[in-house]
Amino acid sequence: MTDSKPMRADARRNRARILAAAEEVFAERGASASTEEVAARAGVAIGTVFRHFPTKRDLLAAIMKDLRRRLIEKAEALIAGGDPATAFFEYFTFLVGSSAGAGAVVSLLADEGTPIEPGEQIMALDHVFARLLDAAREAGTVRADVRLDEVMALLTAVTHGALAAGWPDDLRHRTVNLLLDAFRPR
Amino acid sequence: MTDSKPMRADARRNRARILAAAEEVFAERGASASTEEVAARAGVAIGTVFRHFPTKRDLLAAIMKDLRRRLIEKAEALIAGGDPATAFFEYFTFLVGSSAGAGAVVSLLADEGTPIEPGEQIMALDHVFARLLDAAREAGTVRADVRLDEVMALLTAVTHGALAAGWPDDLRHRTVNLLLDAFRPR
Amino acid sequence: MTDSKPMRADARRNRARILAAAEEVFAERGASASTEEVAARAGVAIGTVFRHFPTKRDLLAAIMKDLRRRLIEKAEALIAGGDPATAFFEYFTFLVGSSAGAGAVVSLLADEGTPIEPGEQIMALDHVFARLLDAAREAGTVRADVRLDEVMALLTAVTHGALAAGWPDDLRHRTVNLLLDAFRPR
Amino acid sequence: MTDSKPMRADARRNRARILAAAEEVFAERGASASTEEVAARAGVAIGTVFRHFPTKRDLLAAIMKDLRRRLIEKAEALIAGGDPATAFFEYFTFLVGSSAGAGAVVSLLADEGTPIEPGEQIMALDHVFARLLDAAREAGTVRADVRLDEVMALLTAVTHGALAAGWPDDLRHRTVNLLLDAFRPR
DNA sequence: TATGAATGAGCCTTCATTCAT
DNA sequence: CATGAATGAAGGCTCATTCAT
C-alpha cells in the first residue's frame, strides 16, 4: 500500500524474526517486557527493532495484525471447507485455545488507554466471524437472537481470561463447552 | 488481631483516601499507574502512601482485600435475605457491573507472577459463591453439572473483559444474560 | 553551659537512653543507620530523638562527646594511680580494644566532609594523652622524638582499622604490640 | 577471558572516564556519594554509568580492582628492579601516600557487610607484599618475627586513616617513618 | 514534652528512544 | 541498513526533618 521500496531480503527476514520473538516474549512476560529482550531473542540489536517498529506500541500493533491475519485465514478455511453447523463452535474453541500469544498482547488494551489497531483488521475478523455465526444460525445450531457483538465480547473475555489466569486445559475445556451451550437453541 | 494501637484519626482518614484514590487510578490506568499519581489524587505526599503501604504490591493487595470484603458482604446479604432461586444470578450480574475498580487490579495477577492475596480471602469469596450456587442448584435454576470453578472462571473473565474493553451497559447486559443462560437447565 | 532550664527527670532519662541506643546502633550498622532505628532501640518515638538532637549530626556529635568523656576519665585515673612508665602503653592498648562503639562513629568523619566535634573536647583528650606521653618519656620508656600528633594519628588509624576490618583479638594484640615497639627507645 | 567483542572506542573512553570520576568522587565524598554525581563529573548521563556498571556496588568493585592492579604492577616493578633491603619500606610508604582514591573506597567494606572483591585480587596483592617482606627479612632489614597479617593490618589502617583524617604530608611522613621503625630489628 | 504521621528531596535503577559508528 | 552506546525521564522506595495531635 505504502511500500515505496520493496525492502531488502535481509531486512524482511529481520522483521519476521523480530515479530516472532516479540510474540514469544510478550506472551511469556506480558506487554511490559522490555524491547531489549525482544531484540535479544530475535538475535538483532535494539536499534534494528526500532528501525522496523519506531515505537513499542507499533511493535505490539504489528503482532496483533499478524495474529489477526492468521486467525482470519483459519476462519476462511473453515468457511470454505467445514460443516456450517459446527464450524462456528470449532472456531470459537480453537481461538480460545490458540491465542496464547495474542492474549498477553491484548492485555495492553487495558493497560494503556488508547486502542492499538487500525480498525479495518478488526472489521475483517468480525466479518469472518459473522459469516460463521450466520451459517450456524441458518443450520439451526445457534439461537436466532444471539448477536455478533455478544459473541465477540465473550470471546475476548474468555480468551484473555484463559491466558491471564492460566487456566489448565481441563478447566478451559469445561468452561468453553459450558459457554458454547449458551449459544445453542434450547 | 494485630491492632496494638487504634491508629490516629488523621492517619485513618488518609489511609482511606489513599485506598479510594488508588482504586480509581488503577481502574483507569491499570496496575502500572504510578504510585505518585495515587498520592496526588489522594492529596498527600508520596511518603505518606509508602508509610501506609510499604510496597506498591501492598497497596494493590489492600485494594483487593477491601473489594473482596465488600463483595462478600453483599453476598451474605443475598444469602440471608434473597430468593435462593435467583440470588445466584443476581449476584453474578451485580459483580460484573460493580467491579469497575477491581477488574483492573485483578489484571495484575497476570502481569506479575506472584499471587497477591492472603488466600483466605479468596477462599471466603469462593465460599459464599459456592453457597449461592448450591442454593440455586437445589432450587433447580442451575444445571446440576455446573461446577464452581467454571463459574468463577467465567466470572473473572467477563468481569475483567467488561472493564478492560469498556463494554457499554447495553452490551454488558446482553452478554451477561446470554452467559447466565448457559447455567440454566434446558 | 547553655542549660537555661534544669531539664525534667524523664527528659534526661530519655536523652540517656537515646544516646545509649544510638551508640549501639551506629556501632553495629555504621553511621548510615537510620535515626528511626535508634528511636526504636531506645523505645521512644522518632520525634523525641529530634527534640533532644535537632540533627542526626548532633546526635553523632553527642555520642562522640560522651565517649571522649569516658575515655578522659579513664586516662585521668591512670595518671593519678598508674605507673608512669607503663601507663601510656596501657592506655593506648585499652583504647584500641575498647572503642568498639566509637570507631563506627568516627567513620562518619570520612563519610561526611565536615568535622563533627566542638574541638574543645578533642583538646581535652589530647591533653591527657600528652600527659601520659610526657610521663613515659621522662620515665625513659618512650623515645624522646616521638610527637603527640603522630601518636594520635596512629591511634586513630589503628582504632578505626581494628573495628572496620573486624580484626580478631589475636591479630589486634600482635599488631598493637608491634606498633608500641615503635615508640620505645632502641 | 570473556571479551567476546573488543568494545567500541567511545565506550571504552567513557568507561575510563567514569572510573576516574568515580575514584575522585568517592575519595572526596565517601562511598555514599551519589552515582548521579559520578555521572556529572564524568560528563555522561546517568544511564551510561549504569550501562557500564549495572550496580553501584559493581562500580565500587571496579574501582578497587583497578587500583589493586596498579598497586600490584608497582610492586612487581620493585621486586624486579629494586633493592631487596629497602623495597619493602619504599612500597609501604608509597602505598600510604598514593592510595588517595582507594582508601575511601575501602571504607565501604566496613559500611556494607558483603565483601566486594573477587578475592583472588586481594590474594595477589598479599602475595607481592609477602615477597617484598620476605626479601627484606632475608636482607636483615625487617625483624624475623613480623608477620604478614600484621603488616597488612597496619597498612590498611594507616592508609585509610591518612585519607579519612586528611593528614598533611608532613604528619604522614613522620607517622609512617615512625611506624616503619617498628618493623626494623633493634 | 512525647508521639508518630506527613513531607518531600534524593537515591538507585529501568527502559523507550535517539544517534554516532 | 545494522549496531549498540548514550540519553534522560520516570518509577519505586528511603529517610532526615517538621508539625499536628
Q: Identify which of A32, A164, A179 has the shortest CB distance to residue B32.
A: A32
Average pLDDT of every residue of chain A: 82
- Is the distance between the Cβ of C40 and the closest atom of strand E smaller than 7 Å? no
> Is residue C161 a contact partner of residue D157, using CB atoms and an 8 Å limit?
yes
Q: Would you place residue A81 in the very low, low, confident or very high pLDDT band (cuts 50, 70, 90)?
A: confident
Instruction: Give A4-67 as a DSSP string.
Output: SS---HHHHHHHHHHHHHHHHHHHHH-TTS-HHHHHHHHTS-HHHHHHHSSSHHHHHHHHHHHH
At C54, phi and psi to the nearest 5? Answer: -55, -15
Identify residue A172 by its one-letter amino acid code: R
Most confident stretch, A97-111, D8-22, D158-172:
D8-22
Whether A49 and A77 share a structural domain: no
On the question of pLDDT at A181 being above 80, the answer is yes
> What residues contact residue C20 under an 8 Å CB cut-off, 6+ apart?
C42
- Give per-residue pLDDT as tens, C94-117: 888 875 445 544 444 334 444 445
Average pLDDT of every residue of chain C: 83
Whether C124 and C177 share a structural domain: yes
C-alpha cell at A141: 445450531
**Grid cell 493497560 in the structure block, residue:** A111
| B172-185 average pLDDT score | 93
Contacts of D133 in chain C (CB under 8 A): none
Whether C95 and C117 share a structural domain: yes
Percent of chain A with pLDDT over 90: 47
C-alpha cell at C41: 532501640
CA pair distance B14, B21, nearest whole angstrom: 10
CA pair distance D122, B154, nearest whole angstrom: 62
Whether C18 and C81 share a structural domain: no
Q: What is the pLDDT of residue C122?
A: 54
Whether A39 and A109 share a structural domain: no
CATH number (domain holding residue A25): 1.10.10.60
C-alpha cell at A182: 449458551
Q: What is the pLDDT of residue A121?
A: 53
Which of D26, D116, D122, D181 to mutate to probe the C interface, most C CBs <10 Å? D181
Q: What is the pLDDT of residue C108?
A: 40
Does some domain include residue D65?
Answer: yes
Q: Give which of D172, D150, D145, D173 is closest to D161, Cα–Cα.
A: D172
Does some domain include residue D38?
Answer: no
Q: Would you place residue C20 in the very low, low, confident or very high pLDDT band (cuts 50, 70, 90)?
A: very high
Question: Chain D closest CA to C9's CA: distance in Å?
Answer: 36
Cβ contact, residue pair C165, D110, below 8 Å: yes
- Give per-residue pLDDT as tens, A157-166: 888 777 767 7
Interatomic separation, CA of residue C8 and C1' of nucleotide F13, rounded (Å): 38
Q: What is the pLDDT of residue B102?
A: 55
Q: Would you place residue C1 in the very low, low, confident or very high pLDDT band (cuts 50, 70, 90)?
A: very low
Whole domain around residue D167: which residue ranges? 57-183
Does some domain include residue B23?
Answer: no
Whether A18 and A100 share a structural domain: no
Most confident stretch, A9-18, D47-56, D110-119:
D47-56
- Give per-residue pLDDT as tens, B13-44: 999 999 999 988 987 787 889 999 999 999 99
CA pair distance B101, D125, nearest whole angstrom: 61
Does some domain include residue B43?
Answer: no
Whether C1 and C78 share a structural domain: no
CA pair distance A125, A102, nearest whole angstrom: 14
At D58, phi and psi to the nearest 5? Answer: -60, -40
CA pair distance D64, C184, nearest whole angstrom: 36
- Is the distance between the Cβ of A185 and the closest atom of strand E smaller than 7 Å? no
Does some domain include residue B73?
Answer: yes
What H or E segment, with its residue span, contains residue C106?
A: helix C100-111
Whether A20 and A97 share a structural domain: no
C-alpha cell at B102: 477491581
Lowest mean pLDDT among A178-182, B28-32, B166-170, D60-64: B28-32
* Three-state DSSP state, C105: helix
Q: What is the pLDDT of residue B18?
A: 97
CATH number (domain holding residue B117): 1.10.357.10
CA pair distance B38, B19, nearest whole angstrom: 9
Interatomic separation, CA of residue B35 and C1' of nucleotide E8, rounded (Å): 14
Contacts of B163 in chain A (CB under 8 A): 110
C-alpha cell at C149: 600528633
Does some domain include residue D16?
Answer: no
On the question of pLDDT at D107 being above 50, the answer is no
* Three-state DSSP state, B73: helix
Higher pLDDT, A4 or C149: C149
Question: Chain B closest CA to A113's CA: distance in Å?
Answer: 7
CA pair distance B165, C10, nearest whole angstrom: 63
Q: Identify which of C150, C158, C183 has the shortest CB distance to residue D157.
A: C158
Whether A71 and A32 share a structural domain: no
Q: Identify which of A109, A182, A186 has the shortest CB distance to residue B178.
A: A182
Q: What is the pLDDT of residue D122?
A: 54
On the question of pLDDT at B98 being above 60, the answer is yes
Cβ contact, residue pair A30, B164, below 8 Å: no
Whether A50 and A94 share a structural domain: no
- Give per-residue pLDDT as tens, C49-95: 999 999 999 998 888 888 878 888 888 999 998 899 999 999 999 88
Whether A98 and A179 share a structural domain: yes
Neighbours of chain C (3+ CB pairs under 8 A): D
Number of domains in chain A: 2
Does some domain include residue B91?
Answer: yes
> Is residue B90 a contact partner of residue B81, using CB atoms and an 8 Å limit?
no
Identify residue C160 by its one-letter amino acid code: H
- Give per-residue pLDDT as tens, B111-159: 444 455 555 555 577 888 899 999 999 999 999 999 999 998 898 888 8
| B88-114 average pLDDT score | 63
Q: What is the pLDDT of residue A54?
A: 96
Does some domain include residue B142?
Answer: yes
Q: Give which of D87, D104, D93, D106 is closest to D175, Cα–Cα.
A: D93
Q: Identify which of D32, D156, D165 has the shortest CB distance to residue C111.
A: D32
Percent of chain A with pLDDT over 70: 83
- Is the distance between the Cβ of C47 and the closest atom of strand F smaller than 7 Å? yes
**Which residue's CA shows the smallest distance to C1' of E4?**
C45
Whether C164 and C109 share a structural domain: yes
> Is residue A76 a contact partner of residue A128, using CB atoms and an 8 Å limit?
yes
Name the A residues in 31-90 with CB < 8 Å from any B CB: 32
